[in-house]
Amino acid sequence: MSGDIYSEIYDNLSAEGPARTRYTRKAFQMLPRLEKPRILDIGCGAGEPTLELARLTQGEIIGIDINQPALDRLKTKIEKAGLSDRVKALNCSMFNMDFPDESFDILWSEGSIFNIGFARGLKDWRRLLRPKGFLVVHEMVWLRPDPPKETYDYWKRQYSGICTVPENLAQIAPGDYKLVGHFALPEDAWWVLYFGPLEKRVRELRIKYANDPRALRALEKGQREVDMHKKYYRWYGSAYFIMQKS
Protein backbone atom coordinates (compact mmCIF):
# COMPACT_ATOMS: atom_id res chain seq x y z
CA MET A 1 0.00 0.00 0.00
CA SER A 2 1.09 3.60 -0.53
CA GLY A 3 2.93 5.09 2.44
CA ASP A 4 0.06 7.48 2.99
CA ILE A 5 -3.13 6.41 1.26
CA TYR A 6 -5.03 9.26 2.91
CA SER A 7 -2.75 11.78 1.19
CA GLU A 8 -3.50 10.10 -2.12
CA ILE A 9 -7.22 10.32 -1.44
CA TYR A 10 -7.47 13.86 -0.08
CA ASP A 11 -4.45 15.97 -1.10
CA ASN A 12 -5.14 18.66 -3.69
CA LEU A 13 -8.70 17.42 -3.96
CA SER A 14 -10.98 20.46 -3.82
CA ALA A 15 -12.06 21.96 -7.11
CA GLU A 16 -9.99 24.94 -8.20
CA GLY A 17 -10.64 27.86 -10.51
CA PRO A 18 -13.94 29.75 -10.79
CA ALA A 19 -15.96 27.01 -9.07
CA ARG A 20 -13.78 27.44 -5.99
CA THR A 21 -13.25 31.18 -5.92
CA ARG A 22 -16.66 32.61 -6.84
CA TYR A 23 -17.68 32.53 -3.18
CA THR A 24 -14.40 34.09 -2.06
CA ARG A 25 -15.19 36.91 -4.49
CA LYS A 26 -18.76 37.24 -3.23
CA ALA A 27 -17.59 37.53 0.39
CA PHE A 28 -14.85 40.03 -0.49
CA GLN A 29 -17.28 42.22 -2.38
CA MET A 30 -19.29 42.64 0.83
CA LEU A 31 -16.36 44.61 2.29
CA PRO A 32 -15.91 48.34 1.72
CA ARG A 33 -13.17 49.36 -0.66
CA LEU A 34 -9.77 49.30 1.07
CA GLU A 35 -6.62 50.83 -0.37
CA LYS A 36 -3.88 48.18 -0.53
CA PRO A 37 -5.02 46.22 2.55
CA ARG A 38 -2.70 43.89 4.43
CA ILE A 39 -4.40 40.47 4.54
CA LEU A 40 -3.64 37.29 6.51
CA ASP A 41 -5.13 34.11 5.04
CA ILE A 42 -5.26 31.67 7.96
CA GLY A 43 -5.10 28.00 6.95
CA CYS A 44 -4.54 28.84 3.30
CA GLY A 45 -3.74 25.33 2.05
CA ALA A 46 -2.73 25.38 -1.62
CA GLY A 47 -3.96 28.94 -1.81
CA GLU A 48 -6.84 29.33 -4.25
CA PRO A 49 -8.51 31.95 -2.00
CA THR A 50 -5.08 33.52 -1.32
CA LEU A 51 -4.48 34.10 -5.01
CA GLU A 52 -8.04 35.30 -5.56
CA LEU A 53 -7.53 37.91 -2.83
CA ALA A 54 -4.39 39.02 -4.66
CA ARG A 55 -6.42 39.43 -7.84
CA LEU A 56 -9.13 41.38 -6.02
CA THR A 57 -6.82 43.87 -4.35
CA GLN A 58 -3.41 45.44 -4.76
CA GLY A 59 -2.60 44.72 -1.11
CA GLU A 60 -0.10 42.43 0.59
CA ILE A 61 -1.33 38.89 1.35
CA ILE A 62 0.31 36.39 3.70
CA GLY A 63 -0.98 32.82 3.60
CA ILE A 64 -0.17 30.55 6.53
CA ASP A 65 -0.59 26.80 6.95
CA ILE A 66 1.27 23.83 8.44
CA ASN A 67 0.85 21.61 5.36
CA GLN A 68 4.22 22.11 3.68
CA PRO A 69 3.39 20.26 0.42
CA ALA A 70 0.31 22.51 0.00
CA LEU A 71 2.44 25.58 0.73
CA ASP A 72 4.98 24.43 -1.85
CA ARG A 73 2.20 24.24 -4.45
CA LEU A 74 1.07 27.72 -3.45
CA LYS A 75 4.60 29.11 -3.78
CA THR A 76 4.80 27.68 -7.30
CA LYS A 77 1.48 29.34 -8.19
CA ILE A 78 2.64 32.65 -6.72
CA GLU A 79 5.81 32.61 -8.82
CA LYS A 80 3.93 31.57 -11.96
CA ALA A 81 1.42 34.42 -11.46
CA GLY A 82 4.22 36.95 -10.93
CA LEU A 83 2.94 37.86 -7.45
CA SER A 84 6.06 37.21 -5.37
CA ASP A 85 6.39 40.90 -4.53
CA ARG A 86 3.17 40.98 -2.49
CA VAL A 87 2.02 37.40 -1.76
CA LYS A 88 3.89 35.17 0.70
CA ALA A 89 3.31 31.60 1.93
CA LEU A 90 4.54 30.79 5.44
CA ASN A 91 4.60 27.58 7.46
CA CYS A 92 2.90 28.78 10.62
CA SER A 93 0.27 27.33 12.95
CA MET A 94 -2.90 29.27 13.73
CA PHE A 95 -2.24 28.31 17.35
CA ASN A 96 1.08 30.17 17.36
CA MET A 97 0.74 33.31 15.24
CA ASP A 98 3.37 35.71 16.55
CA PHE A 99 2.49 38.67 14.34
CA PRO A 100 2.35 41.97 16.25
CA ASP A 101 -1.02 43.26 17.42
CA GLU A 102 -3.05 45.23 14.85
CA SER A 103 -0.93 43.96 11.94
CA PHE A 104 -3.70 43.34 9.39
CA ASP A 105 -6.65 45.06 7.77
CA ILE A 106 -8.32 41.73 6.93
CA LEU A 107 -8.14 38.24 8.41
CA TRP A 108 -9.43 35.55 6.04
CA SER A 109 -10.22 31.96 7.03
CA GLU A 110 -11.76 29.49 4.59
CA GLY A 111 -12.49 26.08 6.07
CA SER A 112 -9.85 26.30 8.78
CA ILE A 113 -11.33 27.90 11.91
CA PHE A 114 -12.79 24.53 12.97
CA ASN A 115 -9.27 23.56 14.09
CA ILE A 116 -9.40 26.13 16.88
CA GLY A 117 -13.17 26.56 17.18
CA PHE A 118 -15.40 29.37 15.94
CA ALA A 119 -15.75 31.28 19.23
CA ARG A 120 -12.08 30.90 20.21
CA GLY A 121 -10.89 31.91 16.75
CA LEU A 122 -12.94 35.10 16.85
CA LYS A 123 -11.58 35.92 20.30
CA ASP A 124 -7.91 35.00 19.81
CA TRP A 125 -7.50 36.46 16.33
CA ARG A 126 -9.10 39.81 17.10
CA ARG A 127 -5.83 41.27 18.41
CA LEU A 128 -4.28 40.93 14.96
CA LEU A 129 -6.82 43.27 13.37
CA ARG A 130 -6.29 46.98 13.05
CA PRO A 131 -9.11 49.20 14.37
CA LYS A 132 -12.21 48.61 12.26
CA GLY A 133 -10.46 45.76 10.43
CA PHE A 134 -12.41 42.84 8.99
CA LEU A 135 -12.63 39.12 9.72
CA VAL A 136 -14.09 36.78 7.09
CA VAL A 137 -14.74 33.16 8.06
CA HIS A 138 -15.99 30.30 5.91
CA GLU A 139 -17.34 27.59 8.22
CA MET A 140 -19.22 24.28 8.04
CA VAL A 141 -22.81 24.65 9.30
CA TRP A 142 -26.10 22.86 9.67
CA LEU A 143 -28.39 24.29 7.00
CA ARG A 144 -31.48 23.15 8.89
CA PRO A 145 -32.15 22.53 12.59
CA ASP A 146 -32.74 19.04 13.99
CA PRO A 147 -30.79 16.97 11.43
CA PRO A 148 -31.52 13.21 11.18
CA LYS A 149 -29.64 11.15 13.76
CA GLU A 150 -27.43 9.35 11.22
CA THR A 151 -25.95 12.52 9.77
CA TYR A 152 -25.93 14.31 13.16
CA ASP A 153 -23.85 11.52 14.73
CA TYR A 154 -21.56 11.34 11.70
CA TRP A 155 -20.82 15.06 11.67
CA LYS A 156 -20.42 15.33 15.42
CA ARG A 157 -17.65 12.74 15.09
CA GLN A 158 -16.05 14.68 12.23
CA TYR A 159 -16.48 18.17 13.69
CA SER A 160 -18.06 18.41 17.12
CA GLY A 161 -18.35 22.20 16.87
CA ILE A 162 -20.67 22.30 13.86
CA CYS A 163 -23.61 24.67 14.48
CA THR A 164 -26.50 26.23 12.61
CA VAL A 165 -26.03 29.68 11.11
CA PRO A 166 -28.08 31.36 13.90
CA GLU A 167 -25.98 29.56 16.53
CA ASN A 168 -22.78 30.88 14.94
CA LEU A 169 -24.23 34.37 14.70
CA ALA A 170 -25.01 34.23 18.42
CA GLN A 171 -21.29 33.65 19.11
CA ILE A 172 -20.29 36.93 17.47
CA ALA A 173 -19.93 39.15 20.53
CA PRO A 174 -21.29 42.66 19.84
CA GLY A 175 -18.49 44.23 21.85
CA ASP A 176 -15.87 42.52 19.69
CA TYR A 177 -17.37 42.56 16.20
CA LYS A 178 -20.12 44.08 14.14
CA LEU A 179 -21.74 41.68 11.68
CA VAL A 180 -21.38 42.95 8.11
CA GLY A 181 -23.23 40.05 6.52
CA HIS A 182 -23.36 36.32 5.96
CA PHE A 183 -24.48 33.83 3.33
CA ALA A 184 -24.66 30.07 2.92
CA LEU A 185 -23.39 28.30 -0.18
CA PRO A 186 -26.03 26.71 -2.43
CA GLU A 187 -27.01 23.16 -1.50
CA ASP A 188 -25.24 21.69 -4.53
CA ALA A 189 -22.02 23.68 -4.12
CA TRP A 190 -20.14 21.08 -2.12
CA TRP A 191 -20.82 18.39 -4.70
CA VAL A 192 -18.94 20.51 -7.24
CA LEU A 193 -16.27 21.69 -4.81
CA TYR A 194 -15.46 18.50 -2.94
CA PHE A 195 -17.66 15.42 -2.94
CA GLY A 196 -17.79 14.98 -6.72
CA PRO A 197 -13.97 15.12 -7.01
CA LEU A 198 -13.72 12.80 -3.98
CA GLU A 199 -15.96 10.17 -5.59
CA LYS A 200 -13.92 10.34 -8.80
CA ARG A 201 -10.65 9.98 -6.82
CA VAL A 202 -11.99 6.99 -4.85
CA ARG A 203 -13.10 5.30 -8.07
CA GLU A 204 -9.65 5.73 -9.63
CA LEU A 205 -7.75 4.55 -6.55
CA ARG A 206 -9.91 1.45 -6.17
CA ILE A 207 -8.51 0.29 -9.51
CA LYS A 208 -4.94 1.10 -8.47
CA TYR A 209 -5.28 -0.68 -5.11
CA ALA A 210 -7.65 -3.49 -6.13
CA ASN A 211 -5.47 -6.08 -4.34
CA ASP A 212 -4.65 -4.07 -1.23
CA PRO A 213 -7.20 -4.65 1.58
CA ARG A 214 -5.85 -1.86 3.81
CA ALA A 215 -6.05 0.72 1.06
CA LEU A 216 -9.53 -0.46 0.12
CA ARG A 217 -10.69 0.03 3.73
CA ALA A 218 -9.43 3.62 3.63
CA LEU A 219 -11.20 4.15 0.33
CA GLU A 220 -14.44 2.83 1.84
CA LYS A 221 -14.26 5.64 4.39
CA GLY A 222 -13.98 8.16 1.57
CA GLN A 223 -16.93 6.60 -0.21
CA ARG A 224 -18.96 6.80 2.99
CA GLU A 225 -18.40 10.57 3.03
CA VAL A 226 -19.76 10.73 -0.50
CA ASP A 227 -22.75 8.52 0.30
CA MET A 228 -23.65 10.58 3.38
CA HIS A 229 -23.53 13.74 1.30
CA LYS A 230 -25.77 12.29 -1.39
CA LYS A 231 -28.30 11.29 1.25
CA TYR A 232 -28.23 14.35 3.50
CA TYR A 233 -26.80 17.26 1.48
CA ARG A 234 -29.82 19.43 2.26
CA TRP A 235 -28.98 19.34 5.97
CA TYR A 236 -25.36 20.53 6.05
CA GLY A 237 -23.05 22.77 4.09
CA SER A 238 -21.07 25.91 4.76
CA ALA A 239 -21.49 29.64 5.19
CA TYR A 240 -19.44 32.81 5.12
CA PHE A 241 -19.53 35.22 8.06
CA ILE A 242 -18.20 38.74 7.42
CA MET A 243 -17.42 40.82 10.52
CA GLN A 244 -15.81 44.15 11.39
CA LYS A 245 -13.79 44.72 14.54
CA SER A 246 -15.71 46.92 16.94
Which pLDDT tens digit goes with each residue over 232-244? 999 999 999 999 9
For residues 149 and 104, what is the distance between their CA atoms, to the nearest angstrom? Answer: 42
Q: 12 pLDDT exceeds 80?
A: no
Residue 1 confidence class, pLDDT cut points 50, 70, 90: very low
For residues 246 and 238, what is the distance between their CA atoms, to the nearest angstrom? Answer: 25
Give the least confident one: 2-6, 47-51, 86-90, 95-99: 2-6
Residue 10 confidence class, pLDDT cut points 50, 70, 90: confident
Burial class (CB in 10 A: 0-12, 13-18, 19+), 195: buried
Which pLDDT tens digit goes with each residue over 175-197? 999 999 999 999 889 999 899 99
Closest Cα to residue 136, out of 30, 20, 18?
30
For residues 190 and 168, what is the distance between their CA atoms, to the nearest angstrom? Answer: 20
Q: 124 pLDDT exceeds 70?
A: yes
For residues 220 and 226, what is the distance between their CA atoms, to the nearest angstrom? Answer: 10
- On whether the CB atoms of residues 44 and 74 are closer than 8 A, the answer is yes
pLDDT score recorded for residue 166: 97
Residue 16 confidence class, pLDDT cut points 50, 70, 90: low
Cα 50 from chain centroid?
Answer: 11
What does the domain layout of the chain look like in residue ranges?
A: 16-145+158-186+236-245
Is pTM beyond 0.85? Reply is yes
For residues 15 and 48, what is the distance between their CA atoms, to the nearest angstrom? Answer: 9
Which class is domain 16-145+158-186+236-245?
A: alpha beta
